[in-house]
Structure 1
Amino acid sequence: MKVGILQAGHAPAEMIAETGNYAQMFSQFLSDRDYSFAAYSVVDMEFPKSAESADCWLITGSRHGIYDNLPFIEPLKALVRDIYSLNMPLVGVCFGHQVIAQALGGQVEKYSGGWSVGATDYNFEGQTVTLNAWHQDQIVELPPQARVLGSSPFCKYAFLGYGENVFTVQAHPEFDSGFIHGLIEKRGRGVVPDDLLEQASCKLELPNSNSALADRIYNIFDLAQVTA
């Protein structure tokens, strides 16, 4: 099965040699399945020919905002609508979570409450999960099709589902503590308040629920085999 990864941003240049870019991180994160991966750097205007160029899709995070006037945003939203109209499996993470919501009629804004960074507890379908967050933007208005699957006191719409085939999450199940440490040092200083960076640094050793989220993504992508 072919998974198309729509890379909406780049990892810090100083970290790519060690971690890979976002598409490579997801390929590794989802390596327990015998998927083939095709990466499209949509942030650089590298788009697939059509929504049917892969069996299922994943949209990565990005340092950019949905509201930024960047050339890749509108074509990506159009592709989201095409994928959704074909009832194809689709997963969105952080920026991906947001762009899917905006493309389908929701609203995303820079959150007045500030940043969420590092290990964060969420209520996800009645269970507590811990995932690494790194965001200031949030969905503030849901698309009509969306249902809320999970939240935190800071992030009301942290997990969303659209029908059976689309699953999105605001946090980063693909980020381990080492990557968060790198973000703190390479992107956080002077941007994120120091007290939040210190709190995130103190939580680097906490266990996370990344594997549980990988299983959830596998379940979404496996729908492509059921409907093939």
Structure 2
Amino acid sequence: MKRLLYLGNGRKLQSVARLDDRFEGWGLKVDRFWAWNDEFPVGLDGYDGIFLSGSPHGAYEDVPFINREHDLIRQAADRKIPMLGICFGSQILGSALCGKDQVFRRTSCEIGYKDLPVTAAAAADPLAQDWGDTVRMFVWHNDEVRADHPDMVILASSDDCPNQVWRHRTAPAWGIQGHPEITRSQAPVWFEENRARMVQDGGDVDGFIAEADEALDAKIMLTRFAEMISRD
């Protein structure tokens, strides 16, 4: 059974999405480490893939676990270990592999369900190749990964963020700014759990609950990642 290193960067090791459990359901042995609490594996030997979760932190912050995670990402890239990051996970991948100036604090929050235009590059991407012209998912971020680095291949964008989904040009690393991991049934729980912060960021939480979406096309990227690890 192939092994996945799951790095939890949030205030809790497991989020409402329980994506670590889903990776196990897709046939992977998942080793969970709570990076937020400075828990990391001794080394990367034996790992076939790495997942990096979201976090309320910024990838540019001088925090011990964030600095340590930067080093781990670079080591994994040197070993060609596939990596997938969501939200903060995408940002820290961009920071570690393309430079800390790639991530910046936005002047306003982008929040809500959006149909993201998909680029031509997605057609040849192993994780995004099944997408059509657009892919729908919930986005919520105050930080952003710049889209102008030569090692970044942009797979999807939005009207307010040119880098919503990307992959690294040479390393097997993918970043998703939005939240495809949230299911339709989990969405109301997640929205209520974060109501105060979402309202502060300009979100219509009741509206989000009413339009909760399964975002099935976006989830293809998650299952493709699990399949790629299982196959390689």
Is the TM-score greater than 0.5?
Answer: yes
In the TM superposition, 1:1-228 aligns within 5 A as: 1-11=2-12, 21-22=14-15, 25-30=18-23, 32-106=25-99, 107-112=102-107, 114-124=108-118, 125=122, 126-140=132-146, 142-162=148-168, 163=170, 165-177=172-184, 179-189=186-196, 191-193=197-199, 196-198=202-204, 200-206=205-211, 208=213, 210-227=215-232
Contact 2:17 2:186 (8 Å CA) reproduced:
no
1:143–1:9 CA distance, 2 compared to 1 (3 A):
farther
Which secondary structure does the structure 2 equivalent of 1:88 belong to? coil
CA distance in 2, matches of 1:214, 1:26: 11
Normalising by structure 2, what TM-score? 0.81
Query: Residue by residue, what CA displacement relative to the aligned partner does 1:146-175 show, whole Å, maximum 9, x if unpaired?
Result: 100000011110000124732210001112
1:101 deviates by: 0.2
Which secondary structure does the structure 1 equivalent of 2:202 belong to? helix
CA distance in 2, matches of 1:186, 1:207: 15
Query: Residue by residue, what CA displacement relative to the aligned partner does 1:178-202 show, whole Å, maximum 9, x if unpaired?
Result: 554445444442x44558322x431
Contact 1:165 1:220 (8 Å CA) reproduced:
no
CA distance in 2, matches of 1:168, 1:202: 27
Please report the RMSD computed on the Cα atoms of aligned residues, expressed in angstroms. Answer: 2.6
CA distance in 2, matches of 1:51, 1:142: 30
Q: Which letter maps to 1:110?
A: R
Which secondary structure does the structure 2 equivalent of 1:104 belong to? helix
Contact 1:108 1:141 (8 Å CA) reproduced:
no
Normalising by structure 1, what TM-score? 0.82
1:87 deviates by: 1.0
1:23 deviates by: 9.0
CA distance in 1, matches of 2:98, 2:106: 18
1:143 deviates by: 4.1
CA distance in 1, matches of 2:164, 2:184: 20
Which secondary structure does the structure 1 equivalent of 2:64 belong to? coil
Q: What is the percentage of aligned positions where both structures have the same residue?
A: 21
1:225 deviates by: 4.1
